[in-house]
Structure 1
Amino acid sequence: MRILHTSDWHIGRTFHGNSTMDALAEVLWALTEQVRRHDVDVVIVAGDVFDSATPAAAAYTLLGDALVSLHDTGARVIVTSGNHDSAARLGFQSRLLRDGIHVLTDPLAIGQPVTVDDAHGPVHFFGIPYLEPAIVRQHWPEGDSAGRQLRTQAQTMAHAMELVRLGMREHEGRSVAIAHCFTAGVDATVGLEREVRQGGLDVVPVSVFDGPDYVALGHIHGRQELSDRVRYAGAPLHYSFGEQHKPRGSWLVDLDADGLASVEWIELPVPRRLVTLTGALDEILAPAMVAEHADDWVCAIYTDAVPQTEPMRRLRESFPFCAMVQHQPAVTTEAGERSYAQRLRTAVTDADRIEAFLEHVRAGNGATDTEAALIRSVLDERVRAEALV
């Protein structure tokens, strides 16, 4: 059986105020073509289908189009909810969806798999929706197998996997688990000195997922290989400049008669590259730099000693897709340099005090000649006004 593992579509998310709907539609069309080209049997979407618990109408339209297109390839589609989704909104139409599209959002159905047969027999897919301990612990008031109340994500996910393993014992054959959480290679669900969190979720030990032939995870936006059989696919789009160097794609997973046979990374196209340009503003605006990055999403970090006038306007004249600008002066204060308080102690006149302030906030750069003339004019006018009182 061939499975495509994707996650974290975040339909409806904006990128620095810009819609990502068209770009995501382009990428999901490419993903659908990959499903068709590689003869994929099952497509897994491991949570965070939407970016919001209350998505706009256009987000539902894009999801519907994507699911229908994937289904038309002949593949089965299995979707679970993530921490950004509203499980109720995502799952309310699940009974009405055509055969072959499964939306799994019910915590009480974790041990009940979606079963897909191939030449070697059944493969059971266990979908674990995002589990917020404070909300879902009501379903399991008895707690975990040791009688502990489910207070953390790690405890709750461990209990969910116990239900999965129970379902595996009741349904013979190969198995795949789908979950949305932050997983790391720690050894135990209890005994941590402090709660460790990532993106609002506390750490779930990778050992929690022992058992299934493959575990398809969502929540982390970059691909991660925690073991041969436990992986994150990441998001299909770059949703922040911090992700710009992370590849976009999905995992192509093959199961044979004995379980996991192979896993291959399949790249997705990037509709518009993300770049971070660092240097003096004039260097960033140099013709060669503009020619190379005019069509990219740009984060400009300019290192001039003093803030420049209207940097975003100037940048967008050359980089239409400049989304972010930051001022990070290259000159840093040395340990032996005078503090602001020390500068003020030696300031005698108001002009000296203004100069001390400018040096403090502009990395040692005081007033320019033009600024000094303006400061003197304002101070002289104040003296004349006081003399008339």
Structure 2
Amino acid sequence: MRLLHTSDWHLGRSFHREGMLGHQAAFVDHLLEVVESEQVDAVLVAGDVYDRALPPVDAVRLADEALARLAASRARVVLTSGNHDSAQRLGFSSRLIDAAGVHLRTDVHGVGTPVLLEDEHGPVAVHGLPYLDPQAVAPLWDVPRRTHEAVLGEAMARVRADLAGRPGVRSVVLAHAFVAGGARRVEESDSERDISVGGVSVVPLELFDGISYTALGHLHGRHELSPTVRYSGSPLAYSFSEATHRKGSWLVDLGADGVASTTFVDAPVPRPLVRLRGTLEELLADPAHARHEGSWVQATLTDAERPLQAMERLRRRFPHTLVLGFDSLAPTLGSLPSARSRGRTDHDLAHEFLATMRGREPERAEAALLRRAVDACCDDEQADALFPLDGLVG
């Protein structure tokens, strides 16, 4: 049996105000092409179909189109809800849709009841676990500890109780959680929503021991926690922290005894991401950056003084610059020393502030402009007499 493991579509999400729906539609096209070209038997979608509980209409339309096309394809579909989804909305009409070969598993009451698939080696029990919010699920299941590990452990106990009655049957589990363990360190992305409860969100890898294949969702980077436990990651990058990610889906072949082989299928990249750092002139002049001129760019400028029209100048070379930051040795407001104003004029204070922030004295024209600005903002003399400045400082 050939499985295609994907997750974290986040339909409706934007990327720093850039609309992503067209790119998400291109991924759906790619997914259907892979189903046909690779003769996929089942598509596993491990949560976060939408980016929020109330998705925009266009995102719902794209999800509807994706599921209709998958239903008409050669593959069965098992899809679970993630922490971004509304389980009830995503699971609407799931009992009717089951008949079309698209199995939406969003209801915690169905945990322990598998979707049964079959190939030449016999049946495969696919247990789709919806995202399990410990605060909601623990009381429902009478679990004493309201942690991700506790509720997911109870869910896996129900899965194993079902599998105990199916000796020799191969098993697949879909779960949406932060799972850690194995030889590789798992890194989070800036675009992932924190699901910690009481500071604890991690569940141990050992919960999935004995399962033929576990398809995980939630982390946006692909990870191989063990030969049988993997994250597919999101098909598109949703933050610059994912600039080095390789996006796509896992193609998994199940043989008679479990996983026989796995292959990562790359998803189409709408536009590369890059983080650039240096002075403005370095970024504009360095020929090595020519390859990034078509990329989405996050730029961090290290100029001692903030250049004028920095974003406009950057976009002349890098038209898709989305984020601009500054990181120089100049002090921040919080690091400025406090000073009493007794004996110092408003002009003195403004002059010293500018000199401290910029690391040099203002030029003559700048000092004259600053003096005129201070004069224009001076309080009226009567107000100063009623509320002397020295009484307010210190």
Please say whether Structure 1 and Structure 2 have the same fold, judged by a TM-score greater than 0.5.
Answer: yes
Letter aligned with residue 309 of structure 2: E
RMSD between aligned residues:
2.7
Q: Deviations over 1:319-364 (max 9, x none)?
A: 33221111112x367xxxxx743887999665443333124333x2
Unaligned residue ranges in structure 1 (runs of 5+)? 144-148, 187-196, 334-338
1:101 corresponds to: 102
Task: Show CA shifts across 1:42-95 (max 9, x none).
Answer: 110000000010011111111122222333330111100000000000001212
Unaligned runs of 5+ in 2: 183-191, 382-394
Cα–Cα, structure 1 residues 332 and 207, in superposed 2: closer, same or farther, change >3 Å? farther
Structure 2 contact 71–100 (Cα < 8 Å) conserved: no
Q: For residue 382 of structure 1, report the CA deviation from its aligned partner.
A: 8.8
Corresponding residue number in structure 2 for 1:74: 74
Match of 2:368 in 1: 373
Matched residue SS, 1:353: helix
Q: Residue 269 of structure 1 aligns to which amino acid in structure 2?
A: P
Whether 1:182 and 2:178 are equivalent positions in the alignment is: yes
2:84 is matched with 84
CA contact (8 A) 1:185 1:206 kept: yes
Count, aligned residues: 363
> Does structure 1 conserve the Cα–Cα contact (< 8 Å) formed by 2:222 and 2:246?
yes
State the secondary structure of the residue aligned to 1:341.
Answer: coil
Q: Which amino acid aligns with 1:241?
A: F
Answer yes or no: is the 8 Å Cα contact 2:304–2:330 preserved in 1. no
Letter in 2 for 1:170: G
More off after superposition, 121-130 vs 276-285: 276-285
CA distance in structure 1 between the partners assigned to 2:285 and 2:151 by the alignment = 54
One-letter code of the match for 2:170? R
- Aligned match of 1:264: 263
TM-score, scaled to structure 1: 0.85
- SS of residue matched to 1:96: helix
Aligned partners of 1:237, 1:313: CA distance in 2, in Å? 27
| Partner residue, 1:13 | 13
1:245-256 to structure 2, matched below 5 A, reads 245-256=244-255
Q: Deviations over 1:252-276 (max 9, x none)?
A: 1111111111222111121111111
Give 2:384's aligned residue: none
Structure-2 residue corresponding to 1:153:
148
CA–CA separation in structure 2 for the residues paired with 1:304 and 1:246:
29
1:109 deviates by 1.1
1:380 and 1:169 map into 2 onto residues whose CA distance is 84
The alpha carbon displacement at 1:280 in A equals 1.5
Alignment partner of 2:95: what SS?
helix
Question: 1:365: Cα distance to partner?
Answer: 3.5
Secondary structure of the residue that 2:48 maps to in structure 1? coil
Instruction: Output the CA distance in 1 between the equivalents of 2:87 and 2:376.
Output: 66
Aligned twin of 1:136: 137
Deviation at 1:311, TM superposition (A): 2.7
Residues in 1 aligned to 2:218 and 2:267: alpha-carbon distance in whole angstroms: 18
TM-score scaled to structure 2, two decimals? 0.84
**Counterpart AA for 1:375:** L
Amino acid at match of 2:79: V
Query: Measured at CA, do residues 78 and 365 of structure 1 come closer, stay the same or move farther in structure 2, by a change above 3 Å?
Result: farther
Q: Percent identity?
A: 45
Specify the alignment match of 2:2 in structure 1.
2
Determine helix, strand or coil for the equivalent of 1:292. helix
Q: Give 1:295's aligned amino acid.
A: G
Partner of 2:387: none
Residue 222 (structure 1) shift: 0.1
Cα gap change, 1:3/1:382 in structure 2, threshold over 3 Å: closer, same or farther? closer
**Secondary structure at the counterpart of residue 285 of structure 1:** helix
SS in 2 for 1:131: coil
Structure 2 vs 1, CA of residues 379 and 133 (structure 1 numbering), >3 Å: closer, same or farther? closer
Q: What is aligned with 2:202?
A: 203
